[in-house]
Structure 1
Amino acid sequence: MRLIPSFTALAPFLILLGSCVGPGAQRPVTRPASVPAPASAPARPSPAAPAPASTPQPAPVASGWQYRPVAPGGWTYRAEAAGSSAAFGPGVADAQLTLRCDRASRRVSLARAGAGAGQGALIVRTSYGAASWPATVSAGAAGQLVAFRAASDAGLDQLAYSRGKIAVEAAGAPMLIVPAWAEISRVIEDCRG
């Protein structure tokens, strides 16, 4: 005796089979005869062949300071009797940039080593923009330009919260680009606390 499966037993399988049809296999849409078919798009020329790989092109030069690499070295935090300091450079003895808190006067100083003699300004660039900080030559270290700010100055917040990098410019010295690490915030908070 031959068994013929009933339609109700095959229904779930037919539904599953119908769901396997992808979007490319759908029925074509028929248009009424009165609607003209759209005109075919004009043929596009083929793209030009790429330049041969034998002549390498130089990498584009990044013009913005934020795209340049940071100077070699790192930040070092140090607690001091009068406050605290953070120095950036390859070593503590040869720091290129120093941020120092003087708790008694509630001022923060920013010193750039290797800057020109005389008075001038430190141009401090952060992700918030650029600011000119009036500076003078340090009495203690030759060739060091120092700028002072009150601990409550909003410019220090821009220094602490800059995204990724900070640049410091001084007349007679190359631009110094340093990473914005937590040591900066620590010195500022020491002076505010």
Structure 2
Amino acid sequence: MKPIYFPFGGALALSFTIAACVPAPDSTPAPTPTPTPPPVQTAPPPSAPAPAPPSKDWIDEARSPGEWTYRSGGADGSAQYVDSRGAPVFSILCMADDARIALVRHGAGSDTPAMTIRTETSDRMLNTSGVSPDTAGRPAIAAYLGRTDPLLDAMALTRGRFAVEIPGLSTLYLPPWAEVTRVIEDCR
């Protein structure tokens, strides 16, 4: 053997010796199956919020259908709230000779003992009396106030509307338009 191969042979033998000392890698383990996540139960989407309960505050109720009309009669002017057919449902009448203002609910029987007026700042139950039938032949009842009564100012200046309640009849929610104020001021 030639001396040149000896170092090569020794290097080769040394490589095999070192290779024998290094542990063989473990066989590649079989991939573990990725567990499938359990199905996620999603909550149903929230339903639309429940509608708000009807307001318990009378001032938030819808205005009664109709509109105010004003009639000048000298010192005895009047304002009438008329429905869509033009029939009066409520009137405010100046009675200058008596220094009073009449609040008249049309269509109410004369046996109704009281009328309640509600405003933003004041509520008052008023005694009533029957009056002659209105122009449509319907019965009507009236409550009378002195022309300087603070309830009249509360009706004219209330926020958005005032209410007229009479047992057995639907409540009227009336706007305090200029006609109301005009009758009150003309009567003073």
Alignment TM-score > 0.5, same fold: yes
CA drift of 1:184 comes to: 0.7
CA drift of 1:91 comes to: 5.3
Secondary structure of 2:77's match? strand
Alignment counterpart, residue 146 of structure 1, candidates 142, 147, 156: 142
CA drift of 1:186 comes to: 0.5
Alignment counterpart, residue 86 of structure 1, candidates 76, 79, 86: 79
The 2-side partners of 1:166 and 1:52 are apart by 37
CA RMSD of aligned residues (A): 2.1
Change (3 A) 1:172 1:52: closer
The 2-side partners of 1:186 and 1:91 are apart by 23
Tell me the matched-pair count: 143
Largest Rg, 1 or 2: 2
Please, which runs of 5 or more residues in structure 1 have no aligned partner?
1-47
Matched, 1:67 2:63: no
The 1-side partners of 2:162 and 2:174 are apart by 5
Alignment counterpart, residue 46 of structure 2, candidates 51, 75, 86: 51
When you count strand as a share of all residues, which structure comes out higher? 1
Kept in 2, the 8 Å contact 1:115–1:171? The answer is no
Q: Map residues 1-193 of structure 1 onto 2, 5 A cutoff.
A: 51-53=46-48, 57-81=50-74, 83-90=76-83, 93-141=86-134, 142-192=138-188
TM norm structure 2: 0.69
* Structure 1 stretches of 4+ moved >4 Å: none
Identity of aligned residues (%): 35
CA drift of 1:117 comes to: 3.2
Please, which runs of 5 or more residues in structure 2 have no aligned partner?
1-42
Secondary structure of 2:97's match? coil
Query: For residues 56-103 of structure 1, what are the alpha-carbon distances to aligned partners after superposition, in whole Å with 9 as ceiling and x for unaligned?
Result: 733421111111100111110110255100001225840111001011
Query: For residues 149-184 of structure 1, what are the alpha-carbon distances to aligned partners after superposition, in whole Å with 9 as ceiling and x for unaligned?
Result: 111111111111111101000121011101111111
Kept in 2, the 8 Å contact 1:116–1:172? The answer is no
CA drift of 1:115 comes to: 2.0
